[in-house]
Chain A
């Protein structure tokens, strides 16, 4: 009996805990944070106290040390309540994963332990105004100067930057070497020369904060370099490998919320003498929606399981992220349609879900890049 489609009792407990936290702490504040663009620090703090904030960091350093499947189960539950809050929890993993992948034991001890022992937010600084998908063309420079590196450049659209105390920054030590010059650094926020831009006003996921990081002559000790010079690109890609599937889980959570709202509404709203769910036009939509959400979840579990088994899962995680984010958009769009005029009103919860879903197609590797990766990996099998 190899495949088991049931969660283990322990996974169910983790799921139940996340579900309760989402329902009791996150959901009641979701609409307000969206409307007023509030970053709910108290919710993130509570999440930190409960171990939701540093799920990827091993317990030895004060994190929760969960496998990828458990992280996905939890992120889906959190995203069900609010996508913006869920991504904030997820981005702490994104920010610290480079340290876990490439950090020395000394670096892990020195950096991760204090990070986990008090409430800290981290941010992953890769994207620049001049390049998102085209990572190799990044322009932030790192110039060696004795025992330090001096960083200059600008990162933008960095989730959690406005509230982060720690950044992992990717800069090039030699532009001529393209991606082979990229190097990873850990940069504390309070380093002189670091300026963080304002919290950008976004279409959705407004409970998360997004901003620029400007680096002007920022002196970073060489002891904060992760791995060797030129290994940064590999570290960044390996990091994104680990967060791609959880983003799929996040999109699935948003889609599930939209489906639940639409299905319940279909039973209560009547037209032409019966609940609208009994009309074929709506029934067809709901049938399509549940197929998509169900498939997205199964893809997520499969990709996460592979990674936890130590298997290469580049193709499967790309499929997951691409599919889940695309269907999230479609499911949310249909949900609004099912609500009709009410769906368009901000008083109703569904239009926010569409606005939250959109970003999942863009960040963590835009879906166009995902498709290139998928095609490339697919064709490898026939070569």
Chain B
């Protein structure tokens, strides 16, 4: 069986997003699993020479580019038309991988509606079945369940960022081919972007955050609590606190997580120096993944945690902050 995979990269804002490299690596893995096929990178936008240069070295066998003034700003109907131009150049059986960024998510189903095929969004795992069918696994119901989707025809899949590894060995010098955009339908015209407002630096709301890091009595002092906040910053996480921290006056009530505080259900919850009294657990036990760092091996929190470290939060925290700051 063969499977050709077209990877649509996301370089909105002028920089190639890391998730595009993840998609390219996954594409190579899929072609390997299918037993053959080509990995084609597809770039859509304007002024793409530098990006094309980067992408061609990241492992695809070919790079196709639709570079047009009319694609300067992201208009999903225009990008879908451009994607159609790319798709025409890659034979079936075809899978299309797109990073599950806002651009990728918006684009995937518009492409599918134009060319036919099937869609799976925010996939965390992709495989190729015995008959060559593409299968995608994804989380549903707020992470409370997992569904496995079998995809027919052109399989268009958006990949959850950070769910797929980038293959460090991927390299190459693929040929770059430019394709014309052609005419745009009326639905793809008239969009004007006036400005971009950056909001980096906002503290994420505790109940809506994907990642929450919390500190408890084991942090020993209000000053030490800053270590939790430092880690949160590099993780893009929200910060919570246990009852003990609030009662000691180290942090405001609004940060309290637990029965008499906030109930949260993030993808990842890391508790530093929190013993895991039932009142706290009630507030966090819907979290997808719970990590506990506590000096006491008998701390009740280890019973509900997925991962645990028996150790001093005060030394583990800075170590983690450092390790995560080293990321490119």
Interface residues of A (CB under 8 A from B): 268-269, 347
Contact = CB atoms under 8 A, between A and B. Distances in A.
A268 B282 contact: yes
Contacts, number: 5
B221 interface: no
A374 B325 CA distance: 75
A268 B258 CA distance: 14
Interface string B279-293: 001100000000000
B191 interface: no
A347 B260 CA distance: 8
A269 B278 contact: yes
A278 to B, nearest CB: 16
Contacts of B281: 268
B142 to A, nearest CB: 18
5 contacts: A268-B278, A268-B281, A268-B282, A269-B278, A347-B260
Interface in B248-278: 260, 278
A6 B74 CA distance: 52
Contacts of A269: 278
Contacts of A347: 260
A268 B300 CA distance: 12
A157 B278 CA distance: 40
Nearest to B281: A268
A268 B260 CA distance: 16
A347 B277 CA distance: 15
A268 to B, nearest CB: 5
A259 B282 CA distance: 17
Contacts of A268: 278, 281-282
A269 B300 CA distance: 12
A17 B282 CA distance: 26
Contacts of B278: 268-269
A268 B282 CA distance: 9
A270 to B, nearest CB: 9
Contacts of B260: 347
A269 B282 CA distance: 11
Give 4 nearest A-B pairs by CB, closest first. A268-B278, A269-B278, A347-B260, A268-B282
Contacts of B282: 268
B34 to A, nearest CB: 47
A269 B260 CA distance: 17
A149 B282 CA distance: 60
A53 B260 CA distance: 29
B301 to A, nearest CB: 14
Interface in B182-229: none
A269 B278 CA distance: 8
A269 B277 CA distance: 10
A274 to B, nearest CB: 13
A1 B230 CA distance: 66
Nearest to A265: B278
A8 B316 CA distance: 57
A159 B200 CA distance: 52
A127 to B, nearest CB: 37
A269 B281 CA distance: 11
A268 B304 CA distance: 12
A268 B285 CA distance: 11
A359 B96 CA distance: 67
B278 to A, nearest CB: 5
A347 B258 CA distance: 13
A347 B247 CA distance: 13
A147 B282 CA distance: 65
A29 B174 CA distance: 63
A143 B260 CA distance: 55
A268 B278 CA distance: 7
Nearest to B300: A270
A268 B280 CA distance: 12
B5 to A, nearest CB: 46
A196 B260 CA distance: 37
A62 B281 CA distance: 47
Nearest to B259: A348
A348 B282 CA distance: 13
A34 to B, nearest CB: 14
A347 B281 CA distance: 17
B264 to A, nearest CB: 16
Interface in B115-138: none
A118 to B, nearest CB: 35
A268 B281 CA distance: 10
A268 B279 CA distance: 10
Nearest to B285: A268
A28 to B, nearest CB: 11
B182 to A, nearest CB: 51
